[in-house]
Amino acid sequence: MDLGDEKIEESAGYASKLERGYSVTPWQVTGVVDYNKIVKDFGTRLITPEIIEKLQKFSGIIHPLLSRGFFFSHRDLDLVLDAYGNGENFYLYTGRGPSGHVHMGHLMPWFFTKFLQDTFGSRLLFQITDDEKFLYSQHLSLQEVEKYAYDNILDVIAMGFDPKLTRIIIDTKNIQTLYPLYLEIAKRLTFSTAKAVFGYKPSSNIGMIGFPAIQAAPCFLPSLIEKKPTRVLIPAAIDQDPYWRITRDIAEKMGYYKPAQVHSKFVPSLELNGKMSSSRPTGAIFTTDDPETIESKISGAYTGGQPSVGLQRMLGGDPDACPVFWYLSHFFDDGKDSFERSLKCRTGNLLCGECKSDLTTQTKLFMSEFTRRRDQAKNQVDSFLYEENPFD
Ligand code: TYM
């Protein structure tokens, strides 16, 4: 993000330490993220085979995003699963900051959220932080953010979340619901904590400084809706973790469970390094891209291949360093296809052009179906919006 990045990057607290070789904040990811190290740096826990097995008992399958290690870290996922086994339901909570169109990176945590909703029949609160994107952006007006909020809601609905179990909270529209919780949270968080965690500076605007309490509020809303302490599980990429860390610190003092998390890695950019991000649109595939744009972005993608066909045949490529392979393996190929593809690539029996062509075909197919669902979503928006007594 613009203003936020510039202001926050240099001095950010635990979430951003470039001397570690990477920096991860809710606003920007730079460097090569070492996911084993981030678990130590952030104080989260790796998802173990035991936890995967616990989850499999309820779902019957091991979700590919778990077997491939894309969801890799958690806080209290085991507690949520154990409690569910003992008859205690939980809410899911996730969200989107509407600063532009949705790209394929954003969809990943939402696929997993849908899988969890389907498995556990959980109610889902989906927060749209239009306030955040206005406050942290140098160039977006409130009206522009509102436009993206509506546009992004179509993507959320197109994911196929259950309309009876899902409510979308738009911060500026649902502020009456969030505000009492915001106050209780904000009163318990000091500026020095917010500064240490998010790296605020004297020049940060005062809206930015208060915002984390707004993103924390839906962690406790389920307890108010259910009129009893209710567990919440948040699927998101690890960049959002700073919010949950400060929320967990105050949860029990407020009489709530600490919110649990399941963290994903980042979907890479189609260009060289870094995560897929709206700020680098040529490396990102948006759900609003037309087939020609998809084709041209994939054709310009970085690969793990050699500079010439001859060298590729002779030396083979490196699928581990290839975003095209990454996309195919995480979105489209099954485990067997992916293994065969990587073997053929390493032995020089597959050219980058072939992988790009496969990815283009699959992505276009996926997006044409997604576009159809987005169009249908236009008639469903009202039934997803959060209202008082949201699930009655
Ligand atoms: P936002 O809009 O930046 O991102 C939305 C979701 O997408 C994840 N994400 C990614 N996941 C994988 N690969 C990527 N390249 C990638 N880029 C983004 C984010 O982790 C997030 O899960 N402040 C939040 C909005 C929010 C929220 C929440 C997110 C409000 N409440 C609760 C998660 C959970 C934001 O701006 O997300």
Which residue shows structure tokens 């997604």?
A: 370
**Does residue 128's CB lie within 6 angstroms of at least one atom of ligand 1?**
no
Question: What rounded mean pLDDT belongs to the chain?
Answer: 93
Protein residue closest via CA to atom 6 of ligand 1 = 106
Q: Are residues 138 and 209 in the same domain?
A: yes
**Does residue 25's CB lie within 6 angstroms of at least one atom of ligand 1?**
no
Residue 10's closest CA among 143, 191, 198, 285?
Answer: 198
Which residue shows structure tokens 């003092």?
A: 253
**Does residue 105's CB lie within 6 angstroms of at least one atom of ligand 1?**
yes
pTM: 0.94
Residue 15 phi, psi dihedral angles, 5° rounding? -75, -15
**Does residue 109's CB lie within 6 angstroms of at least one atom of ligand 1?**
yes
Q: Is the pLDDT of residue 23 over 90?
A: no
Q: Are residues 146 and 53 in the same domain?
A: yes
Neighbours of 224 (CB within 10 A): 14
Q: Looking at per-residue confidence, does 343 or 3 come out higher?
A: 343
Residues 38-59 have a mean pLDDT of 96
CB 207 within 8 A of CB 110: no
Protein residue closest via CA to atom 3 of ligand 1 = 97
Protein residue closest via CA to atom 34 of ligand 1 = 94
In a domain, 175, yes or no: yes
The preferred substitution site among 68, 71, 96, 327 for testing ligand 1, maximizing ligand atoms within 8 Å of CB, is 96
Interval 297-337: pLDDT, tens: 999 999 999 999 999 999 999 999 999 999 999 999 999 99
Q: Are residues 303 and 172 in the same domain?
A: no
Residue 19 has what pLDDT? 54
156, 305, 375 from 175: Cα distances, Å: 20, 50, 28
Residue 223 has what pLDDT? 98
Distance 262 CA to ligand 1 centre (A): 13
When divided into structural domains, the chain yields a total of 2
In a domain, 99, yes or no: yes
In a domain, 112, yes or no: yes
Amino acid at 360: T
Residue 209's closest CA among 222, 198, 225?
Answer: 198
Protein residue closest via CA to atom 21 of ligand 1 = 236
Distance CA 390, CA 380 (A): 16
**Does residue 264's CB lie within 6 angstroms of at least one atom of ligand 1?**
yes
Interval 363-390: pLDDT, tens: 999 999 999 999 999 999 999 999 999 9
Q: Which of 236, 270, 304 finishes a domain?
A: 270
